[in-house]
Structure 1
Amino acid sequence: MSGCVMAGAMMIALGSGGSFTLEWTHSVEREDWRETWEITADDRLHLTKAAVKGSGAGMEPGDGGHFEEGWWVWTPDLPPVPALVLAASGKTPSAWRLCGAGCVDLGAFSGQPVQVVPCSRAG
């Protein structure tokens, strides 16, 4: 399966498997965070893996978390969602970095939140 997501007005192609990663730096702890998302058969977004470089305020690894190559990694037990909404305050230490077939930075500057949805749901 391959596909794409819409992030604001941008269409972002995904590689085979229809998945993408979302990375950012935590605004308080200044530690890297990474999530892997996939598009489900019913065109929703499902969080399949989460990883964090450290721990601290709001950054505790989830159940079953284990240390792997410098990251705390776990599989979240959450239902798929129709969309992601990414804040764009312009005051965080990094933009959101969304990587599919290529990478793009989102929300680096103050503005409206950026909504990420499967292309089939964009409208």
Structure 2
Amino acid sequence: MIALCLGLAGSVWATLPGEPFTLAWRHSVEKIRWEEDYRVTSAGLRLDEARVRGSGAGMEIPEGAVLRDGAWHYRRDLPPLQPLRLGRTPEAGDYQLCRDGRCRDLAHWLGPPRADRPAVELWSCSPD
């Protein structure tokens, strides 16, 4: 069975079931929500689709994006990410991890963002 590990440099801070999930956050300046849908595979995290609800500084709408239900939907042809590294600081706010329509801040599993730990990685792993 495969799981989703959260941590840094191979150190596991939390392990979650390897179910599909959405990673969501608000742009720190523009306050616009971004969402990315991932599948957990043995090769890594596969990005299926992404959405953004607007544009702004450093937030160009990707070529080929389609406006649907108030958000720009697009796909990127990327290899599986292993790991997916996220910047996570108190000033920028937290990411949300969503499953089955329910979203929780990463703080639920990791505690609040901290200046002395400004990043987190997500990767597919084997649960212990």
User: When the two structures are superposed, what TM-score results if normalisation uses the length of structure 2?
Assistant: 0.77
* 1:61 equivalent in alignment to 2:61: yes
Select which of 9, 14, 29 maps to 1:10.
14
Select which of 109, 119, 123 maps to 2:125.
119
Letter in 2 for 1:11: T
Q: What stretches of structure 1 of length at least 5 have no aligned partner?
A: none
| 1:63 shift after superposition | 2.5
| 1:35 shift after superposition | 0.3
Q: How many pairs does the alignment contain?
A: 116
Q: How does 1:1-123 map to 2 (within 5 A)?
A: 3-8=2-7, 9-14=13-18, 18-40=19-41, 42-92=42-92, 94-100=93-99, 103-106=103-106, 108-110=112-114, 111-112=116-117, 113-120=119-126
Between the aligned partners of 1:99 and 1:71, the Cα distance in structure 2 is 17
Letter in 2 for 1:13: P
| 1:60 shift after superposition | 1.8
Q: Is the 8 A contact 2:43 2:80 kept in 1?
A: no
Higher strand share: 2
Between the aligned partners of 1:81 and 1:38, the Cα distance in structure 2 is 10
| 1:3 shift after superposition | 4.4
Letter in 2 for 1:78: L
Q: Is the 8 A contact 1:13 1:100 kept in 2?
A: no
| 1:116 shift after superposition | 0.7
Q: What stretches of structure 2 of length at least 5 have no aligned partner?
A: 8-12
Identity %: 34
